[in-house]
Chain A
Amino acid sequence: MVQFHEHIITELLEDTNGGLVVTSSGLGLHKLISSLFILHHHSQGCLLVLSATPPQKSSILRNYENDIQSQISGEVPNLPSEITFDLPANQRLALYTSGGILFITTRILIVDLLTHRLPTTAVAGLVILNAHSLSDTSTEAFIVRILRSTNRSLYVRAFSDRPHSMVSGFAKAERTLKCLFLRKLHLWPRFQVYVSQDLERDPPEVVDIRVPMSTYMIGIQKAVIEVMDACLKEMRKTNKVDVEDLTVENGLFKSFDEIVKRQLDPIWHTLGKRTKQLVSDLKTLRKLLDYLVRYDAVTYLKYLDSLRASESFRSVWIFAESSYKIFEYAKKRVYHFGRTDSGKLGLSKTVSTKKRKLNDNKKDEDQSTSTETMVVLEEVLEEPPKWKVLLDVLMEIQEERDKQASSGEEKDHLGDGDDNGIVLVACKDEYSCMQLEDCITNGSQKVMREEWEKYLLSKVQLQALPKRNAKKAKEPKGFGVLDGVVALSPGKKAEVSSISKQEHDALLAAASAVSKRINKDIVGEDDNQKHVDVGGSVKRKGKWKKKKGSAGENSNNDVAPEDDAMEGGCLNEVFLRKHDLGLDAESSRETKKLPPVVFYALESDKKILDILKPSIIIAYHPDIAFVREVEMYKAENPSRKVKVYFLFYEESTEVQKFEASVRRENGAFESLIRQKSLMMIPVDQDGRCLGLDSSNEPQSVISQNHVTRKAGGRREAEKEMQVIVDMREFMSTLPNVLHQKGMRIIPVTLEVGDYILSPLICAERKSISDLFVSFASGRLYHQVEMMSRYYRIPVLLIEFSQDKSFSFQSASEIGDDVAPNSIISKLSLLVLHFPRLRIIWSRSLHATAEIFASLKSNQDEPDEVKAIRVGVPSEEGVVENDVRAENYNTSAVEMLRRLPGVTDSNYRAIMDGCKSLAELAMLPMERLAELMGGQKAAKMLREFLDAKYPTLL
């Protein structure tokens, strides 16, 4: 345990109420929490851990297990357990009372608290992670309020390692403290004196490598920034956003969207389409910058293609002047397209070109030509410059080791002797990891080639992409290139504008050559196995690669010039020649030894350093949190030699972003320190925090009415109001606010409606975005129909958000005519078809609570048992105490219901008859017809599932 962790814990334990700890990112929060676990004793009651993400959970657990192993205490340690939806109620109760450490989701906890299944006195304390995402209406706050009201000795310890999220919005830190009933804010920035002492005592050796970007990369970066700047300028013109925040530097961060959103949300509905589009364009552009340094040239181009296909014609950036350059350069990194006057420089030149240009980025130069049409499609396949540098670094490391080994001094030199020589390469995402690994084992050219071929294939939409388990999928029709080409010609017109016809043909031809070869190979492999003896192909994994390996030999003989494809024959040969060269390059690399390398994706958020104990770390995509983790790792293992390589693209936004993230974090802490000195936290006589007390709120409208209407203002002994709330609604914050208003919340699973206010009144709550979506999907119609069937007063609650404007649209958007897609038309139709439907227009959560209370005032209380039964198909029955909402894979169900042929009447049967969407995708027609109750629906679904995705070209 590093020393400053001990300091944090001592400080935190000083206040028996608990406190909120904010640290810099990467300072080992998981270790801190597992140390807290060690201090927990089951006689105190149980310790509930809330809001931990799965990776956080697993790293805390792993660390805790390590910690208790190293402890010499004779007592049997209590391992944390997890409370999940599938534990029956009595087992949950047993766990609650066991006094152990429990990971739990907020939804289960709040439901168990509201149904009194969890005795509040059994809880010793709460540990809440990711405190930056809390607000006074969030479920965590709800939980703390309920627990605090009955359990005075409860402690709450909340943690966050995202200081910049703690300063977004007005007095966020103070509000968070209040909603958790806490007084103490503990700030632990990286520049805090204990922290920096610990981490800088013996820092790791750092090698900073600046890799120059290729000319085209620089060009793309410049163009993207230009477009971004142009968009920002446009944005400024709207006069809707604070100009100070609108800088390119801010634009590099995800939080930029938040800044803009926070400012625009209150007026979002009044904004013109153009401004809205600008906001989303900026997001897209940020991604483009990010991917430029992460993806290889081909993948980048592919992403751009997808983007172009999916962006609406409205998007501003695509038509900006510099955007043209982005596409152009991105293409030039992959291939050149041009026409030549003579066909001579065709094939003969291929090999010589390659030999001549051996500099970094044009290594793999090659050409494919058509001697007849004189169209040249020249492959460039620029490799990301970092690839080569990475290889060089690895080889250098190995050379050094070899040297040390030969001089025979390495063992005692390298420290504890448990040095395993692992080199850890940290990338941003899993994809980069896989690609780099491929690069090292198979050579970078091969990787680029594979990406290129995949790219071409996706252009012609070959459905028979290599599949791991091809046997279970039935062969789609249109296998083979020609079918693909024919099928696509009518649809392609839309896209042709952006890419010239000839270029398009050339790409198709190239693609057809590739796929033809693969076809042949499949046949070839089936017939005779003699081709397998090609050099490097054997050890490579995966069918896809093997096929290509064998291609090297067989097609030279049996691919005659093709008559069907346009330039098929020539292209084919060119491809193959190159391929042979690729193999040569690879075999030559095999002679060089590389150290053992492990790739790690930062996104996966696994704390891998302590497990692998690497001595050399290469930060392929530098990230501030990871840097801190390395520092921590070094501080905890002072005897170990740690060397870190940083690979930055020189003059790139990557560097800029890294440096800005340090500045931003420091800025956030400075602001938090300021806020801390000014905070006002109300405290009661015992020194306990009062938090946001509902009794301080101004009297509500109804209670005022009560006073005047009841004779002499006499207040009757108030009967507690009850509201039955659907389990799924605990994702939203309304139950919390209703509870604040003093209503009793009864959570159950409802088939019809979201809130049952009385035996007569049933309400379906829709936020504005929900309203639009569920009108479009027809869901709302169905829900209202059900409510009308079972309740006297069905209610649609349209809930606006407090900080957004209270209206659907700006006056300018209403238009001149009655338009079928306007929300006005849809609401009017709904009202016409359900004259009994009542609509509540609520300004905010709190207004909703007022309205609910007012509506209930002269009604009977709702009956829980009846409400559960409503609308449930009789054969299904009702399970006692079930938490059914937790048991559905909601995205899957939602997606299922959106598929063609699936209706409200057959989706249950489908879910009963087949387990998952993946299984559904495999079901034959007959079975589908059985489940869906009809041939027609089944056919519709099957055809949709198997329909060929139209190509991009």
Chain B
Amino acid sequence: ATPSSSANRNAILVSNRQKGNPLLKHIRNVRWTFADIVCDYLLGPNTCALYLSLRYHLLHPDYLYFRIRELQKNFRLRIILCHVDVEDVIKPLLEVTRTSLLHDCSLLCGWSLEECGRYLETVKVYENKPADLIQGQMDGDYLSRLNHALTAIRHVNKTDVVTLGSTFGSLSHVMDASMEDLARCPGIGERKVKRLYDAFHEPFKREV
């Protein structure tokens, strides 16, 4: 069910069923066009999305199941884009979660039409993007890396990192500092001193 005209490859294909969905006017960063498809949105050759408003789900609890069944096994990634538009979410969301989990769909929730639209855009734009962004390869500058490392210790904040850095001169000196030297840093109280010292000097693995 994938029309492969090259002009449409970079566009989101929208099912005719979605005509009149106010969500469509929030898809602005990517081109989209109506097409005769079985899913609601076709985001790539193997990626599709179904749109579900929780309010609609409350009226038609079986709708989602029938829509998923229609998809058969034709897609690698099947997204259920759930618009959270009711106040009392727990029960309907539980049902939607259960249905999507048992029928191999990935559930994404948006709280506004803008947010839902943005998910569609993003999935399309990132279709072929590598995962670097979420693999934590930060090539940040020295200061942000130092920040990131030292704030692994609870209650250590950015100001403390500056104080520690400027007092001891380098991370290895910070790690080797004595309790007394740590205590001499303004803004670092008794408990933080202990926390820092323990983090540096207690063994990674305690002997059993």
Contacts and interface: CB of A to CB of B under 8 A. Distances in A.
Interface string A826-862: 1111111101111111011001001100110000000
Nearest to B76: A835
Contacts of B185: 431
Interface stretch (A105-113, A158-166, A191-199, A462-470): A462-470
Interface string B90-101: 110110011011
Given A310-B158, A843-B89, A944-B145, A461 B169 contact: yes
A198 to B, nearest CB: 31
A811 B115 contact: yes
Contacts of A888: 204-206
Interface stretch (B15-23, B64-72, B174-182): B174-182
A211 B111 CA distance: 58
A431 B184 contact: yes
A895 B199 contact: yes
Nearest to B112: A811
Given A818-B125, A850-B94, A826 B166 contact: no
A350 interface: no
Contact of B171 (A299, A300, A921, A952): A921
A889 B204 contact: yes
B191 interface: yes
A303 B167 CA distance: 11
Contacts, number: 284
Interface string A800-832: 000000111001001011101010111111111
Contacts of A527: none
Interface stretch (A140-148, A773-781, A931-939): A773-781
A467 B153 CA distance: 24
A405 to B, nearest CB: 36
Contact of B77 (A775, A831, A947): A831
Given A86-B206, A806-B89, A828-B126, A898 B149 contact: yes
A825 to B, nearest CB: 5
Given A895-B153, A918-B175, A922-B176, A829 B77 contact: no
Contacts of B126: 818, 825, 828-829, 832
What size tier do the contact residues of chain B reach? Answer: 35 or more
Interface string A923-953: 0000000000000000000001111111110
Contacts of B115: 808, 811, 814, 824
A947 B101 CA distance: 48
B149 A306 contact: no
A434 interface: yes
A683 interface: no
Contact of B106 (A817, A835, A916): A835
Nearest to B188: A431
A922 B205 contact: no
A446 to B, nearest CB: 16
A406 B200 CA distance: 54
Contact of A824 (B119, B153, B161): B119
B198 interface: yes
A229 interface: no
Contact of A917 (B100, B131, B175): B175
B58 interface: no
A793 B129 contact: no
A354 to B, nearest CB: 28
A196 B121 CA distance: 70
Contacts of A889: 198-199, 202-206
Q: B158, B191, B205: which has the most chain A beta carbons within 10 Å? A: B205
A837 B108 CA distance: 11
A817 B29 contact: yes
Interface stretch (B6-14, B32-40, B133-141): B133-141
A851 B97 contact: yes
Contacts of A816: 28
B205 A947 contact: no
B187 A306 contact: yes
A817 B117 CA distance: 11
B163 A948 contact: no
Nearest to A889: B202
B97 A295 contact: no
A291 B187 contact: yes
B93 A829 contact: no
B173 interface: yes
B204 A915 contact: yes
Interface in B133-170: 133-138, 142-143, 145-146, 148-150, 152-154, 157-159, 161-163, 165-170
B134 A778 contact: yes
A309 to B, nearest CB: 5
Contacts of A948: 169-170
A199 B185 CA distance: 38
B193 interface: yes
A476 B170 contact: yes
Contacts of B97: 840-841, 851
A648 B53 CA distance: 63
A430 interface: yes
A603 B190 contact: yes
A776 B77 CA distance: 24
A601 B176 contact: no
Given A601-B190, A824-B122, A839-B107, A949 B165 contact: yes
B68 to A, nearest CB: 13
A246 interface: no
Contacts of B105: 838
A751 B55 CA distance: 40
A806 B158 contact: no
Contacts of B57: none
Interface string A737-756: 00000000000000000000
B207 interface: yes
Contact of A603 (B112, B121, B189, B201): B189
Contact of A825 (B109, B122, B149): B122
Contacts of B29: 817-818
Contacts of B195: 891
Contacts of B202: 889, 892, 916
A781 B136 CA distance: 8
Interface in B37-83: 47, 76-79, 82
Interface string A284-325: 000100010001000110110111011100000000000000
B1 interface: no
A899 interface: yes
Contacts of A307: 159, 162
A300 B106 CA distance: 53
A690 interface: no
A920 B168 CA distance: 17
A841 B119 CA distance: 16
Contacts of B108: 827-828, 831, 839
Nearest to B149: A898
Q: A86, A472, A822, A825: which has the most chain B beta carbons within 10 Å? A: A825
A896 interface: yes
B133 A829 contact: yes
A779 B118 contact: no
Contacts of A781: 131, 134-136
B99 to A, nearest CB: 11
In order of increasing CB-CB distance, the 8 nearest A-B pairs are A778-B136, A949-B165, A835-B77, A921-B172, A895-B152, A303-B186, A463-B169, A603-B190
15 contacts: A302-B163, A462-B169, A465-B173, A603-B190, A701-B91, A808-B111, A824-B118, A829-B126, A831-B108, A839-B108, A841-B97, A887-B206, A888-B205, A892-B200, A899-B149
Interface of A: 85-86, 88, 287, 291, 295, 299-300, 302-303, 305-307, 309-311, 429-431, 434, 458, 461-463, 465, 467-468, 472-473, 476, 601, 603-604, 701, 775-781, 793, 795, 806-808, 811, 814, 816-818, 820, 822, 824-833, 835-841, 843-844, 847, 850-851, 854-855, 882, 886-889, 891-900, 911, 915-918, 920-922, 944-952
Given A303-B186, A429-B189, 7 more contacts: A430-B190, A465-B168, A822-B118, A889-B206, A898-B148, A916-B204, A950-B143
